[in-house]
């Protein structure tokens, strides 16, 4: 009989380790995908909140007597545009079109619109303000038309951006306790 101790690992141990690794990967990949979608939703909401804040600042600082509007078109192919006119159409991509969302900054008039392109899987499900689907910021102290924007990703996670009549903009998560760095609504 051979009294030498076995060194190394057996085929059964390797197969068992591989099986456990496959099990862990099959559980981690969907969770990672959902985490990425949640981060994309959060990024979009923060970007949109920053755009609202910038529009409010433009209304106050530029010294123009006209308000600044953000016009929203909800849905899977959502868009929004910024203008001093109350009736622009964010779907217009041609600055020469009479309904294009144009905004003047530093004496340069430019097309100011964004769409769902950079955020696939994110849907603007609702834009509800006191003036319909448009947020309005007045030049006097940045007062606003109160309302909210509701965003959703393909997993059903939702975030809201709320605008108060005083122009305060905040991000919140509806119907849930504070999660992933966002307060409940």
pLDDT reported for residue 172: 93
Phi, psi of 117 (to 5 degrees): -45, -55
The phi, psi pair for 87, rounded to 5°, reads -140, 35
d(CA 24, CA 13): 17
Contact 59, 70 (CB under 8 A): no
Model pLDDT, residue 21: 79
Q: Are 154 and 37 in contact (CB under 8 A)?
A: yes
Q: What is the pLDDT of residue 124?
A: 96
Ranges of each domain in the chain: 11-172
pLDDT at 178: 53
pLDDT at 4: 65
Which DSSP symbol is given to 133? T
pLDDT, residue 86, reads 87
The whole-angstrom separation of Cα 20 and Cα 14 is 10
Query: Does residue 67 contact residue 180 with C-beta atoms inside 8 Å?
Result: no
Dihedral-angle region of residue 171 (phi above 0 means left; psi in -120 to 50 means alpha; beta otherwise) = beta
3-state secondary structure of 170: strand
pLDDT score recorded for residue 179 = 60
Pair type for strands 169-173 and 183-184: parallel
- For 40, the enclosing helix (H) or strand (E) is helix 11-61
Backbone conformation region of residue 75, classed left if phi is above 0, alpha if psi is from -120 to 50, else beta: left
In the chain, which residues have pLDDT < 70?
Answer: 1-4, 6, 28, 176-179
Give residue 48's pLDDT. Answer: 94
Fold of 11-172: minor pseudopilin epsh fold (3.55.40)
158-163 sheet: strands from edge to edge: 123-129, 147-152, 158-163, 169-173, 183-184
- Residues 115, 59: Cα–Cα separation, whole Å: 22
In tens, the pLDDT along 70-99 reads 999 999 899 999 999 988 999 999 999 999
């Amino acid at each position: 009989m051979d009294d030498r101790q076995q060194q190394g690992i057996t085929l059964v141990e390797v197969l068992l380790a591989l099986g456990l690794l496959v099990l862990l990967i099959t559980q981690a990949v969907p969770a990672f995908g959902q985490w990425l979608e949640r981060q994309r939703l959060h990024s979009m909401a923060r970007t949109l909140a920053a755009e609202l804040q910038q529009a409010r600042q433009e209304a106050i600082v530029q010294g123009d007597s006209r308000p600044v509007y953000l016009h929203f078109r909800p849905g899977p192919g959502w868009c929004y545009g910024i203008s001093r006119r109350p009736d622009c159409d964010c779907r217009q991509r041609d600055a020469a079109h009479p309904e294009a969302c144009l905004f003047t900054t530093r004496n340069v008039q430019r097309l100011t619109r964004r769409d769902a392109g950079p955020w696939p899987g994110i849907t603007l499900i609702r834009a509800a303000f006191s003036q319909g689907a448009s947020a309005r910021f007045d030049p006097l102290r940045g007062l606003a038309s109160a309302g909210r924007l509701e965003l959703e990703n393909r997993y059903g996670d939702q975030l809201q951006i709320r605008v108060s009549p005083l122009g305060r903009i905040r991000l919140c998560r509806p119907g849930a306790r504070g999660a992933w760095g966002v307060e409940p609504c």
